[in-house]
Structure 1
Amino acid sequence: MNPVIVVHGGGAGSISKDRKERVRQGIIKAAEEGYRILRDGGSAVDAVEGAVTFLENHPEFNAGCGSVLNVNGDVEMDASIMNGKDLSAGAVSAVRCIANPIKLARLVMEKTTHCFLTDQGAAKFAAAMGVPTIPKEQLVTERNVKRLEKEKGAPKSDCQQDLGTVGAVALDCKGNVAYATSTGGVVNKMVGRVGDTPCIGSGGYADNDIGAISTTGHGESILKVNLARLTLFHVEQGRTLEEAADMALGYMKSKLKGLGGVILVSKAGDWAVKWTSTSMPWAAAKDGKLHSGIDLDETSVADLP
């Protein structure tokens, strides 16, 4: 199989011009990192973990060190990962003071008999696995402090403009697929709020017999429709990736007014990106070519380094 990776940097409202270029370069570099892992013989799981780790370490994205703040001004992060080869999966939620929740999610997948650990239990497991803790200040950016202040002063909304999540899907040379998704959640969320990102079937799904998907958008809406598994169900029914994504996103929007986006790769190596939010930074790498975009009807293609 020719390896493929697709990466997203979360849905969003309009992105300011100065941020747009930083976001574009970040998402492109994440895709390049994942593709390098695949080209060097790494697994799909390695590739999605590598791409998402890169984005968790990038302050422009709502994951890891760019995570938005909850009502108390703290960072609580969620992440999940899944291997389509055997449906093994790992997830964590309400994680604090670690740099890369996606790495902890993979440890849950590979080192425990469980799928999902949360809060204090996840913290104890991280310590047992030797995952270093970092001061919470390292995860708080000035931009997110200002965003929290602005949100606290604004009329109550349903967070439809806070659609930030990062994710990746990949197909490796052995025909295995995987997904990874990570987020800091929504600005001014209640302590302990968990969205779709760590929930298998909502924040993502991977099955070698179908493909892999990672989602982003209004978490409560995504949870209610099981967006990831719903989209792959339409693929199983013979729809193209684009048709399946349009049907699932359309259903969520019509039933709940929920906005979101998805990235997909099929077991045959086809890929697709679709969203109903204003924009969704994305990049895809396949056959030595890198495709990327942020806004609707905007796609650029370049040769991979």
Structure 2
Amino acid sequence: MKPVIVVHGGAGRIFKEREEGSRAGVVRAALQGYDILKRGGSALDAVEEVVRSMEDDPHFNAGEVEMDAIIMDGKNLDSGAVSAVKCIANPIKLARLVMEKTKHMLLTDNGAYVFAQAMGVPEIPGEKLITERSRERWKKNLEPDSNPEEFQKDLGTVGAVAIDSEGNVACATSTGGLSNKLAGRVGDTACIGSGGYADNRSGATSTTGHGESIMKVVLARLILYHMEQGLSPEVAADTALDYMKTRVGGLGGVIVVNSSGEWAARFSTKQMSWATVKDDQLHYGIYAGERHTKSVDEALASEREGF
């Protein structure tokens, strides 16, 4: 099996001044994940490392203040997730520890924090997780004439799906969530079947968008169901996104890879940054219909020159 990696940097609105950084971020992450796969690494290791790198990238709203994350292994359907975690730089690493070191699938808030301490996961002051852009958005959203819907469209989620040389698939998703959400709110990211799903028999997907809508239709699992009925990743993704839009009025985006290595990056929002590498060819874009292609060698040369 030829390895494939697909990544996304969140569906919603990407301001003009952030487009270049967002493109560069997903390209860098995809190349990093593909390198792991090409060297014989597992799909699980690749998606974890890709998401970790994007959690650390200030262009994406992942790894801020209260964070959710999920990781899933398509080989055995094992999964680990955390929600409402604070003061942890990389929640995706904590999610994998939940999967591999406990009998549980989801830990939240203080329980996740205590577990992180027990596992020796490094802490980081919450203030260091807040970018200046996020601080300004938070202040603006408190203004009496602010429009909450405007901020809900600027959703920050990152994700990755992969298939490795052994034919195993995996997914990982991480988010900082909605601005000014109610205390205790858990979105789609940490919920298996909503924020992501992976099964070697069909494929893997990672979702992004309006969390409550995604949970209502169980978007990630719905896409895999459509693929199990014989639809291609692209048609399965479009069918599920169309259903979510018409049934509950929700917008979002998804990345998908099936058990044959076919992939898709589809979205119903205005934008979604995405990148994929297959057969040593890099593809990436942000807008609907936008697709740039480079060889991996050319892309790596561009990386060294600053993209």
In which range does the TM-score fall when normalised by the shorter chain? over 0.9
Deviation at 1:302, TM superposition (A): 0.6
Which of 73, 78, 103 does residue 83 from structure 1 map onto? 73
TM-score by length of 2: 0.94
Paired position in structure 2 for 1:163: 155
Q: Which amino acid aligns with 1:191?
A: A
The 5 Å alignment of 1:104-253 reads: 104-153=94-143, 154-157=146-149, 160-253=152-245
Paired position in structure 1 for 2:301: none
Q: Which runs of 5+ in 2 are unaligned?
A: 298-307
Paired position in structure 2 for 1:292: 284
User: What are the Cα deviations for residues 100-153 of structure 1, in whole angstroms up to 9, with x where unaligned?
Assistant: 000000000001000000001100110010001011111011100001112222
Quick check: 239-248 or 206-215, which moved more?
Answer: 239-248
Paired position in structure 2 for 1:267: 259
* Sequence identity percentage: 61
Distance 2:268 2:149 in 1: 18
Distance 1:243 1:104 in 2: 33
**Is the 8 Å Cα contact of residues 202 and 223 (structure 1) preserved in structure 2?**
yes
SS of residue in 1 equivalent to 2:11: coil
**Is the 8 Å Cα contact of residues 75 and 168 (structure 2) preserved in structure 1?**
yes
User: What are the Cα deviations for residues 140-194 of structure 1, in whole angstroms up to 9, with x where unaligned?
Assistant: 1110000111222213438541332100000000000000000000011112211
Paired position in structure 1 for 2:51: 52
**Superposed structure 1 runs of 4+ greater than 4 Å apart:** none
SS of residue in 1 equivalent to 2:255: strand
TM-score by length of 1: 0.95
Quick check: 218-227 or 145-154, which moved more?
Answer: 145-154
Deviation at 1:241, TM superposition (A): 1.0
SS of residue in 2 equivalent to 1:252: helix
User: What are the Cα deviations for residues 217-275 of structure 1, in whole angstroms up to 9, with x where unaligned?
Assistant: 00000001000001111111111111111111001000111000010001000000110
User: What are the Cα deviations for residues 53-82 of structure 1, in whole angstroms up to 9, with x where unaligned?
Assistant: 000000110101xx3xxxxxxx10000000
Paired residues in the alignment total 295
Paired position in structure 1 for 2:6: 6
Distance 1:174 1:276 in 2: 33
SS of residue in 2 equivalent to 1:11: strand
Paired position in structure 2 for 1:38: 37
Paired position in structure 2 for 1:22: 21
User: What are the Cα deviations for residues 9-67 of structure 1, in whole angstroms up to 9, with x where unaligned?
Assistant: 00122x23321101111110000111111111110000000100000000110101xx3
**Is the 8 Å Cα contact of residues 163 and 260 (structure 1) preserved in structure 2?**
no
Q: Which runs of 5+ in 1 are unaligned?
A: 68-74
